[in-house]
Amino acid sequence: MNRFLLNPTPFGPNRREFLWQAGAGFAGLALTDLLCREATASPLAPRVPHFPAKAKHCVFLFMNGGPSQVDTFDPKPALAKYHGKPYQGDAKVGSNGRPVGHLMQSPFEFKKHGRSGLEISSLFPHTARHADDLCVIRSMHADTAAHASGCLQMNTGGIFIGKPSLGSWLSYGLGTTNENLPSFVVMTDPRGGPIGSASNWSAGYMPAAFQGTLFRGSGSPLLDLAPPKNVTDRTQRRSLDLLKSLNEEHLQSRPGDSELMARIESYELAFRMQSEAAAVVDLSNESAATLEMYGLNQPRTADFGRKCLITRRLIENGVRFIQLYSGGGHIEDTWDGHTDCIKNHLTHAGETDQPIAALIADLKRTGLWEETLLVWGGEFGRTPTSEGVGKPGRDHDWHGFSMWLAGAGVKGGQAIGATDEFGFKAVEERCHVSDLHATILRLMGIDHTRLSYPHQGLNQRLTGVEERHIIAKALA
Amino acid sequence: MNPLLRHLLFFGLFAVLPALGAADYQRDIKPILRDRCSSCHGPLKQKADLRLDAGSLIPRESHAEILTRIVSDDEEERMPPEGARLSPEQVSLLRDWLASGAPFPPEEPVAKSPRQHWSFLPITPHPAVPESPHPHPVDAFLFGTGAAPRRAPDGSLLRRVHLDLIGLPPTVEEQRRFEEIPDLAAAIDNLLTRPEYGERWARHWLDVVRYADSNGYERDAEKPFVWRYRDYVIESLNRDKPYDRFILEQIAGDELSDASVETHVATGFLRLGHWDDEPADPQTDRYDQLDDIVSTTGQAFLGLTIGCARCHDHKFEPLTTRDYYSLVAIFEPLERPRKGRTELPLPIEGTEVYAWREPSAKAPPSTILIRGSVTRRGDPVQPAIPAILTERQPSFPAPGEKSTLRRLGLARWIADESNPLTARVIVNRVWQQHFGEGLVTTANDFGLMGAPPARPALLDWLAHWFMHEAHWSLKDLHRLLLTSQAWQAEKKEGAPIRYRRLEAEAIRDSMLAVSGQLNPKRFGPAFRPPIPLAAIEANTDRTSVWKPAAEPETSRRSIYAYIKRGLVIPMFETLDLADTVSSCPQRQVTTVAPQALTLFNGDFANEQATHFAERLRREAGSAPEAQIRLAWRIALNRNSSPNELDRMKSFLTEQSLEQLCRVILNLNEFVYPE
């Protein structure tokens, strides 16, 4: 029996069921999982999902800071009509005592795009070309007005630190097909990480093997990937060979010990990771046209473009979950347009629109579109009112905001749900953050009610204990 | 394919076949009873005196009413009363099954009353040691009249006992002395007197109490003077403070009649949790903080997962929301000293102490929160112990002059010799740390959902001995366990002692000891070791988030390293550091490539390899053979084999001594003590 994974099986019976079944035979146990665990010692070994799923990879394009729904994917003609008038609805406006201004129309023009006629603002001319692939959810809502807890909720389902993130759940539930690369990759913005930094890609109470790995778009992509400067390739290999032969000799005193064997293998894996991860960020074999398509030749789009291109390459290499952050550090360096939402969104949309559209086109070109799920959005939205009378900023709005899904298993060219007349509050087909999580898991082949991890006496789930709903309309 | 798997496969396939004929009890009926009936009519609760969790319990005269109630349209009548109605298929399955006389398998297991659960029953008063040729009681329990497993060689045992008790390998001098006089009992006694013992074992306790130096969340602010609590734990262990006193001080150190600065520091235990200084909802946040205290107290001292009863009666344990809020009431008088978002320490006799305070001896009113909601207050509650754990409530003292003394009441009950859980839980933790696996494998969960004890009689004997013979002395307990043949056995398949990787801290500290760089400076504020730039880049405040210290501060023992909730030292994180948010019952052992990257390529390991090489040149001279022999002694505490010596010598003809040292620090043998 392997002692490697101290943890229970992701798809196994929950503890209560286990108690019930003890003595009553093991009928109903997830057999695939048992077989997998018997065959390998790695916590990241691939596992068979609950349902056959098209999506094998997930890319979360995290618009850190909170993009404004009424300026992006949720057109509100009423705002033009009532522009400059005070808001008189019942939603709690604003966060943390910031000044509340009047209703403010979007300066960005909305147009219908594609055969579907999906409405998208002029902030995203490139992405709009893929309108028929996008499934916009206009009725998102979250539980918190603060960035720290908002980012945590979007990433881990809860507003407290210590919970595993979406990427951890996917790594735990599905494993990876390529252990030469991390299964869960995070790329942050050059201006800094999101608020709460590593708590957002933490494995929480799960083993560290499931946590997100920071990946840099240039140089040495992974922590401690390269040998020390004074160590040549030959020395590195000779040292690893010596280590391996000494470890193998030591193993003879404990033949078949799975932990020792796994540790020997981990050094070889690290060595392969060194070449494979370095190869992923080496874009020299990409055509000039590709580099241009992603915007690598323009300063504004170069960084996010590079990350998007590396994302495609990571997907090609079997990485399960990739999260890209647009925006980092504080306030206007993120989508957090408190002072001037217009200028802010022009900047951040300008940096990301072309690269995201290129990623979609490139995934289609390579056929990976058929097995990749894209998620776009931030931790919440922004108020339809300005922050302060006559000011161009917008404050946080967690009562209603927009996100989009696209790719494998998603029914594109539609907008689901609706906010109220002004875009404050989700009112139709309301979709909680945890509903989105349930839907993402479903698209990846996982039943969110059955993927659990025991901790503190409970079978914890990404979607928590409340009843959550899959956004059925989003599924193709 | 192994026969078990084949068996499972067969029954597994059988289980997913669609229902063709009559209802099958296991497949069709039991899941309905389990999922829809048993939370009110099961082992924990028996509304209307009815249990439906097993076919054998359902009285025939109830069949008719069950059938009426499950199809009733009357909302007051229908069963189950909450959630979706039973589907027509489920109703028809139940109807057919009841009509056919409700057949169930004769061997159907029926859960016992939770009051009879082993860990809630008193510890056996004078458990007899079994008849055995083995003089040591632990061996008598484990091996009976059988043979004890083979003893590990002396050299291995010296290494084992050093790493186990002080987290550092024996020096060359200590090895030599032990070779002259191989007296393991004397070595144990000696190690238990060293200050490094507390530095090693305090870390195990810090895991259990979710210790960290910062609060987490956006500002992830430092907990001012929290390190005094860490030092308190180290000193308490080194002074062998009786465990019952250790409990009293941490829960109610400020309420003791002999309260001192030290006992105030101890109550830092209650304030170690994560804290969002800009919470989404301040009222809810208040109860989240109380939940952190109640949950951690329950797990750490009692091995109970009480937190689950916050919103509803615990589904799997005999704990009700009333039990939960009665415990909350004990801590509700506490206030976090703060000025806005900034936490403040408490001044106690001129020392800044990181603790809560009770502003008044008059307790605020406490109530149940219905479904955990701060806007739905239910019945008032008074401080009380969960009903399942005691026939009669302990008498909580009347409020004192400065505080309510509620915590003192709880602490006394926990530390009382009649408490069925306390001694069992701590004895099991110590056993787990020495043997690699607890007698109860779920160290934080002794409830119905926890694992049953592998050796209930031994656990009870140890618990009883610990209280009545050792008078709660942890050092006596260490001495007892380590002098058994069980602990001294070779770590082979089937032996009671497990072969297990060292924790992150012991790996790092061993490297420092071997390289000769270990800075023995004790106590005081935590130090920040250098960490890779890439880990810092992902933070919002990159210039201020982590200001590393310099040598020799950075070569202190790992227990003094700063644990920042939002930025855990990558080397620790990848090597399975404890969860910093909730109580960690046992470290995980995972093996993944990033660990190899850190230990082989990372700055820390390579710096120690360089220092190790310098040390070898200094102490063994320039001859490769002497260097290799000494390296083996220092790092692996044994002589190198002729084969190893040859291979090292040949490696050194083309590679540097630094490279050799780097390899040694990465050996499996270095991190897996025999």
Interface test with B, best of A42, A224, A268, A323 (most B CBs within 10 A): A224
CA distance A449 to chain B (A): 13
User: pLDDT band at residue B22, thresholds of 50, 70 and 90?
Assistant: low
More confident residue, B84 or B185: B185
pLDDT in tens, B346-393: 999 999 999 999 999 999 999 999 988 899 999 999 999 999 998 889
Taking a C-beta distance cutoff of 8 angstroms, is the pair A327, A63 a contact? Answer: yes
What is chain A's alpha carbon radius of gyration, rounded to the nearest angstrom?
23
Return the minimum-mean-pLDDT range out of A47-56, B96-105, B223-232: B96-105
DSSP type of residue B556: B
> What pLDDT score was predicted for residue B106?
79
Mean pLDDT of chain A: 89
Q: Is B121 on the interface with A (CB under 8 A)?
A: no
Minimum mean pLDDT range among A77-91, A298-312, B560-574: A77-91
Distance from CA of B64 to the nearest CA of A (A): 26
Between CA A305 and CA A75 the distance in angstroms is 27
Q: Determine which of A135-149, A192-206, A369-383, B49-63 has the lowest per-residue pLDDT on average.
A: B49-63
Contacts of B583 in chain A (CB under 8 A): 456
pLDDT at B166: 98
Name, in order, each residue with C-beta under 8 angstroms of B167's C-beta and a sequence gap of 6 or more: B196, B199, B200, B203, B505, B506, B509, B510, B557
Mean pLDDT of B604-622: 98
Q: What is the distance in angstroms between the Cα of A294 and the nearest Cα belonging to chain B?
A: 23
Whether residue A1 has pLDDT greater than 60:
no
pLDDT digit string, tens, across residues B112-154: 788 889 999 999 888 899 999 999 999 999 999 999 999 999 9
Q: What pLDDT shows up at residue A28?
A: 25
End-to-end CA distance of chain A: 41
Q: Where are the beta strands (DSSP E) in B69-170?
A: none
Which of B308, B579, B595 has the CB atom closest to A266's CB atom? B595
Average pLDDT over residues A240-253: 95
The helix (run of H) or strand (run of E) holding residue B481 is helix B474-482
Q: Residue A24 pLDDT > 50, yes or no?
A: no
What integer pLDDT is reported at residue A220 of this predicted model?
Answer: 82
Q: CATH number of A57-224+273-474: 3.40.720, 1.10.1740, 1.10.3470, 3.40.50?
A: 3.40.720
pLDDT at A35: 32
Task: Find residues 644-663 of chain B whose CB sits inside 8 Å of chain A.
Answer: 644, 647, 651, 654-655, 659-660, 662-663
Q: What is the distance between the alpha carbons of residues B52 and B219, in angstroms, rounded to a whole number?
A: 51
What pLDDT was estimated at residue A454?
Answer: 85
Structure confidence at residue B168 (pLDDT): 98
**B435-453 confidence digits (pLDDT tens):** 999 999 999 999 988 899 9
Instruction: Tell me: pLDDT of B44 over 50.
Output: yes
Query: In this complex, do B534 and A223 lie within 8 Å of one another by their Cβ atoms?
Result: yes
Out of B108, B570, B651, closest to residue A223 by CB: B570
Which of B226-230, B334-338, B532-536, B607-611 bottoms out in mean pLDDT, i.e. has the lowest?
B532-536
Q: Judge whether B4 is closer than 8 Å to chain A, CB to CB.
A: no
Say yes or no: B611 contacts chain A, CB-CB below 8 A: no
The answer for residues whose C-beta is within 8 angstroms of residue B403's C-beta and 6 or more apart is B254, B255, B333, B358, B360, B361
On the question of pLDDT at A378 being above 90, the answer is yes
- A161-165, B9-13, B281-285, B394-398: lowest mean pLDDT where? B9-13
Write the pLDDT tens digit of every residue in B315-326. Answer: 778 899 999 999
B399 three-class SS: coil
**Is the minimum CB–CB distance between B274 and chain A shorter than 8 Å?**
yes
The whole-angstrom distance between B7's CA and the closest CA on chain A is: 9
Q: With beta carbons less than 8 A apart as the criterion, state whether B301 and B420 touch.
A: no
Question: How does residue A99 score in pLDDT terms, banded at 50, 70 and 90?
Answer: confident
Residues of B in contact with A242 (CB under 8 A): 647, 651, 660, 663
If pLDDT is split at 50, 70 and 90, which confidence band does A3 have? very low
Q: How many Å is the maximal CA-CA distance in chain B?
A: 93
pLDDT tens per residue, range A408-446: 999 999 999 999 999 999 999 999 999 999 999 999 999
Question: d(Cα A455, Cα B584) in Å, to the nearest integer?
Answer: 10
pLDDT, tens digit, 9 for 90 and up, residues B507-544: 999 999 999 999 999 999 999 999 988 888 888 888 88
The pLDDT assigned to B280 comes to 80
Best-predicted range by mean pLDDT (A443-452, B14-23, B68-77): A443-452
- With CB atoms and an 8 Å threshold, state whether B14 touches A193: no
Question: How far does the CA of residue A145 sit from the closest CA of chain B (Å)?
Answer: 6
With H, G, I as helix, E, B as strand and everything else as coil, classify residue B58.
coil
Whole-angstrom distance, CA of residue A463 vs CA of residue B23: 33
- The average confidence (pLDDT) of chain B is 91
ipTM: 0.88
DSSP annotation of B171 reads P
Q: Where are the domains of chain A?
A: 57-224+273-474, 233-270
Judged against a pLDDT cut of 60, whether residue A38 lies above it is answered with no
Mean pLDDT of B78-84: 82
**Residue located via tokens 């470890």:** A247
Q: A29 pLDDT exceeds 70? A: no
The DSSP bridge partners found for residue A414 are A135
Helix runs in B581-641, H state only: 593-601, 603-620, 624-636
What is the per-residue pLDDT for A41? 57
Q: Which of B16, B566, B598 sits opposite A196 (nearest CB)?
A: B566
Residue range B629-633: mean pLDDT, rounded: 98
Q: Give exposure, B442-465, as e/b (b: 16+ Cβ within 10 Å).
A: bbbbbbbbbeebebbebbbbbbbb
Distance from the Cα of A408 to chain B's closest Cα (Å) equals 28
Secondary structure of chain A as H, E, C letters: CCCCCCCCCCCCCCHHHHHHHCCCCCCCCCHHHHHHHHHCCCCCCCCCCCCCCCCCEEEEEEECCCCCHHHCCCCCHHHHHCCCCCCCCCCCCCCCCCCCCCECCCCCCEEEECCCCEEEECCCCCHHHHHHHEEEEEEEECCCCCHHHHHHHHHHCCCCCCCCCHHHHHHHHHCCCCCCCCCEEEECECCECCCCHHHHHCCCCCCHHHCCEECCCCCCCCCCCCCCCCCCHHHHHHHHHHHHHHHHHHHCCCCCCHHHHHHHHHHHHHHHHHHHHHHHHCCCCCCHHHHHHCCCCCHHHHHHHHHHHHHHHHHHCCCCEEEEEECCCCHHHCCCCCCCHHHHHHHHHHHHHHHHHHHHHHHHHHCHHHHEEEEEECCCEECCECCCCCCCCCCEECCCEEEEEEECCECCCEEECEECCCCCCEEECCEEHHHHHHHHHHHCCCCCCCCCEEECCEEECCCCCCCCCCCHHHEC
CB contact under 8 A, B11 and A246: no
pLDDT digits (tens, 9 = 90+) for B410-423: 999 999 999 999 99
pLDDT above 70: percentage of residues in chain A: 91
Mean pLDDT value across residues A313-324? 97
Q: Residue B68 has what pLDDT?
A: 85
Q: Which residues of A88-109 are buried (b: 16+ CB within 10 A; e: fewer)?
A: eeebebbbeebebbbbbbbebe
The string of DSSP codes covering B174-216 is HHHHHHHS--HHHHHHHHHTSHHHHHHHHHHHHHHTT--SB--
pLDDT grade, residue A10 (50/70/90)?
low
Closest CA to B266 of B242, B291, B248, B290: B248
Q: Which of B307, B591, B667 sits opposite A259 (nearest CB)?
A: B591
Residue B191 has what pLDDT? 98
- Which pLDDT score is estimated for A216? 86
For range A97-112, the mean pLDDT: 93
Q: For residue B542, give the DSSP letter.
A: T
Contacting B residues, span 310-349, partner chain A, CB-CB under 8 Å? 311, 314-317
Average pLDDT over residues B453-476: 97
Tell me the chain B residues in contact with residue A433 when contact means C-beta distances shorter than 8 Å: none
| Least confident span in A183-187, A191-195, B467-471 | A191-195
Distance CA A41, CA B589 (A): 12
- CB contact B12 to A (< 8 Å): yes
Residue of chain B with shortest Cα separation from A272: B593
User: From B585, which residue of chain A is nearest by alpha-carbon distance?
Assistant: A456
Give yes or no for B499 touching A (CB within 8 A).
Answer: yes
Mutate to test the interface with A, among B592, B648, B649, B664 (most CBs of A within 10 A): B592
Q: Which of B200, B201, B150, B161 minimizes the C-alpha distance to B184?
A: B161
**Tokens matching residue A31:** 């057999």
Residue contact B668–A251, C-beta within 8 A = yes
pLDDT beyond 70 at B157: yes
Instruction: Tell me: pLDDT of B251 over 50.
Output: yes
- Which residues neighbour B83 within 8 Å (Cβ) at sequence distance 6 or greater? B36
The letter for the amino acid at A320 is R
Residue A284 structure tokens: 């020299």
pLDDT over threshold 80, residue A5: no
**Cβ of B537 and A188 within 8 Å?**
yes
Q: Which residue of A has its CA nearest to B298?
A: A456
Percent of chain B with pLDDT over 90: 72
pLDDT confidence of residue A22: 29
